[in-house]
Structure 1
Amino acid sequence: MKILIIYDHPYDGSYNHAILESVIQGITKANGTYEVIDLGKEAFDPVMTSTDLLAFVKHQAVDPKAISYAQKISTADHLVFIFTIWWELMPAMTKGFIDKVIFPGLTYTYKENGISMVSLLPKLQSTTVITTMNTPKLMYKWTYGNALKKALIKGTFKKTGMKNVKWLSFNMVKMVNDKKRQHWLQQVTQIFAGK
């Protein structure tokens, strides 16, 4: 299985980076192959320019890096997104990736009605979103309306025809003890090792 990991966190000492390492450890145990797109280290520009917007309308992407990322997605069996949740949604770099890479003509197209969408990623079998946040799970669900689920899982991935989308959320990361954090990392490794 070929796995493409889209990673967005600026600090290599973060818990998100430990999650990334656990994902890689699990993939390696399962004898899978992987590639990491580290948006910060690759200096990805998340800003939609007027040129990008015109390209969106024409369904002809122009950002070379976004096009290359979409090509990598098209050859993957599984996508993994790893990022922290800030102000109840994804960081700007991840949002920019969604805006410029999950793009008409690259990863999806519209049906004849002009509203419904269909995926252009026949090889892609599944997508896993892994997030961290300090908001308690029930508060995130009931006070903030599961904002990420509505905006990204349903409003983007499922809407554009991606299959088998799962979300693994680690909440109250700063508040839990190290034993709990280590347990979560082991859980991530086991998931990607197929155990």
Structure 2
Amino acid sequence: MTRRNHTLVIYAHPYSGSFNHAVLESVTSALERKKRSYDVIDLYADEFDPRYTAEELALFSEGGTTDPLVEKYQGLLDKATRLIIIAPIWWSELPGVVKGFMDKVMKQNWAYDSTNIGVRGRLTHIKQVLVLTTSTAPTWFLKRMAGNSVGSVFLGTIVRQLGMKGRKWVNYGQVAKGGHARRAKHLEKVARLAVKS
């Protein structure tokens, strides 16, 4: 099946006054200026529950769900060719709501198959994954001293196993430092990345 280029933005921050929200606005504005097709999943605005219930877990082996948001999100992922994930770094990794999104939405027999030699991803139609984060810690600390959770585990293992390509992580470290000029420069950067093919 041939898919037209379509970006799915997954946003995970509860506060509209955050710098993460400014990143979201910069990304979506850039997509609109270039007339690029896109959707946004706002996990907090949707009140997405990242927890598995016993009923949901009972459907694990068949890839079923009791959560209508999971079905909605899978439909959006089905038509996406690019993902942009916007979230803060909390305690050296992505927020729990993002992990819960991966846990509940990336179902067996939908997002991947379990084989004798491991997981075989089905989401190969997603050709680019861009993770845009902010952190109190400097980026070098997250990469060298805190386990590189985003680069190594999230992108390097989870996303790779799902079959997605073109994985990139851009972090805005020491978010409270640098003032308006530094923030404006970063927003220009993420706007360029949002429309880069």
Q: TM-score, normalised by structure 1?
A: 0.92
* More displaced 10-residue stretch of structure 1: 81-90 or 146-155: 146-155
Contact 1:26 1:191 in 2 (8 A): no
Deviation at 1:11, TM superposition (A): 0.6
Q: Work out which of the residue numbers 46, 52, 55 in structure 2 matches 1:51.
A: 55
Q: Work out which of the residue numbers 177, 188, 191 in structure 2 matches 1:189.
A: 191
Aligned mates of 1:160, 1:121 — CA distance in 2: 6
Secondary structure at 1:81's aligned position in 2? Answer: strand
1:141 corresponds in structure 2 to: 143
2:89 corresponds in structure 1 to: 85
Unmatched segments (≥5 aa) in structure 2:
none
Residue 36 of structure 2 corresponds to residue 32 of structure 1? yes
Aligned mates of 1:171, 1:72 — CA distance in 2: 30
Contact 2:39 2:76 in 1 (8 A): no
What letter is aligned with 1:125?
A: K
Q: Aligned residue pairs: how many?
A: 193
Residue 46 of structure 2 corresponds to residue 42 of structure 1? yes
From the superposition, tell whether residues 175 and 73 of structure 1 become closer, same or farther in structure 2 (CA, over 3 Å).
same
Aligned sequence identity (%): 32
* More displaced 10-residue stretch of structure 1: 84-93 or 121-130: 121-130
2:127 corresponds in structure 1 to: 125
Residue 26 of structure 2 corresponds to residue 19 of structure 1? no
Q: Give the alignment's Cα RMSD to 1 decimal.
A: 1.6
Aligned mates of 2:195, 2:160 — CA distance in 1: 25
Secondary structure at 2:136's aligned position in 1? Answer: coil
User: Residue deviations 1:93-141, cap 9 Å, x none?
Assistant: 1111111012212222223x1x422222243221111111011122212
Deviation at 1:71, TM superposition (A): 1.6
What letter is aligned with 1:81?
A: I
What letter is aligned with 1:98?
A: M
The 5 Å alignment of 1:67-86 reads 67-86=71-90
